[in-house]
């Protein structure tokens, strides 16, 4: 079992979870092809994190990359940036810029 973690990715967890649900439990070859066809910012990032997890499994566990499966993909909320946007008549609206922590775990297919 090998994992890769990305912290502070500048996209809301809700948007990233949509893409993460597509690859959870699939073989890594299928997961990479699914991510390659997506036109979302989260798909590019998940491709890199999944590639890192595959490399970690190949290097540390001496696992064959063809036999790996995406065991879990966890998307957690990261720190939130709070900004202010000026509005009319002296008012202001708060803008919340959310970030995500992403953890991808791959394991050998049994």
104: domain CATH number is: 3.90.470.10
Consecutive sets of 10 residues in the chain, 110 residues long: mean pLDDT of each? 96 97 96 96 97 95 92 97 97 97 93
What gap in Å lies between CA 42 and CA 25, rounded to an integer? 18
Lookup: tokens for 92: 């202001």
Nearest in space to 107 (alpha carbons), one of 26, 34, 14: 26
The confidence score (pLDDT) of residue 49 equals 98
The confidence score (pLDDT) of residue 13 equals 98
Question: How many domains are contained in the chain?
Answer: 1
The confidence score (pLDDT) of residue 89 equals 97
The confidence score (pLDDT) of residue 101 equals 98
The parent domain of residue 51 ranges over: 2-108
Place of tokens 């390659």: 36
The confidence score (pLDDT) of residue 109 equals 84
């Amino acid at each position: 079992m090998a994992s890769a973690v990305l912290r502070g990715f500048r996209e809301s967890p809700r948007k990233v979870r949509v893409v993460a649900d597509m690859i959870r439990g699939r073989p890594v070859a299928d997961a990479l092809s699914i991510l390659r066809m997506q036109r979302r910012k989260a798909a590019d990032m998940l491709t890199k994190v999944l590639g890192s997890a595959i490399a970690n499994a190949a290097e540390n566990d001496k696992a064959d990359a063809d036999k790996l499966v995406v065991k879990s993909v966890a998307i957690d909320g990261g720190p939130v940036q709070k900004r202010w946007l000026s509005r009319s008549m002296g008012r202001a609206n708060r803008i919340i810029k959310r970030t995500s922590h992403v953890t991808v775990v791959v394991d050998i297919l049994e």
